Amino acid sequence: MRGKEKKLIFIDFEFSMPDGRGPKGFFPEIIEVGLVCVESAKTSQYSSYVKPRVFKRLSRRCRSFLSIKQENVDSGITLTALVKHLSNFNNDGSNIVVTWGNMDMKVLKQNCDRAGLTFPFSGEFIDLSMEYKRFFGDRNQTGLWKAVQEYGKDGVGNHHKALDDAMTTYHIYQLVEKDKRYLDKAEPTTIGDRIDLAKLQDLLVQ
């Protein structure tokens, strides 16, 4: 399994979103984090709401779509505290950060750049949605919960809840890696598997 000796970090963020175009200069800010860390077969979890640094009031659309209340983020940690906490999971680059889609790391980097903070991760990054797409030969990228349902499983908890989505990403990772190991062990068929050689010999004698 890839990353066997490395720390695996599964992350999901929820972002703020505007009503319509939103205020001038609007950009998505992290308002919730969910993280599952797997190291030496031990699993730990972390979740928290995060205070928006620039656009402090959540839009009606954001509150409705994500079921996050204004008081949730008002009592959350700061972006600075979030980045510091995430850096504690970074293992000098000897880790793999796994997300579903590429937006989580893009928004984290954008938020760090705008706040003058150092990006907390180094090492390898995996967009599991692209891995899933390549593995199954899908033409289009598949949504997180649709992907787990295609495996005949249910997502963990509630969709668009950061920790639940991070845990669901972890479960899909395990399922895909299990399938990869199965395919790696499967021996390719030989011509003898496909043709009855005894019958072929009889035909040649005739």
Q: Give the containing element (helix H, strand E) for 14.
A: strand 7-15
Q: Count the neighbouring beta carbons within 10 Å of the beta carbon of residue 144.
A: 21
Bridge pairing between strands 124-127 and 95-99 = parallel
Is 171 a known active-site residue? no
Question: Which one from 14, 29, 32, 131 is the annotated catalytic residue?
Answer: 14
Angle between helices 128-136 and 162-185 (to 10 degrees): 40
The verdict on whether 14 is a catalytic residue reads yes
Q: Which helix (H) or strand (E) holds 30?
A: strand 30-39
Instruction: Please check whether residue 102 is in contact with residue 127, taking contact to mean a CB–CB distance below 8 angstroms.
Output: yes
Instruction: Give the burial string for 88-98 (b: 16+ CB within 10 Å, else e).
Output: ebbbeeebbbb
Q: Which entry of 124, 150, 160, 177 is annotated as an active-site residue?
A: 160
Compute the distance between CA of residue 89 and CA of residue 2 in angstroms, rounded to an integer.
19
- The distance of Cα 142 from the centroid of its chain, to the nearest Å, equals 12
The set of catalytic residues is: 14, 160
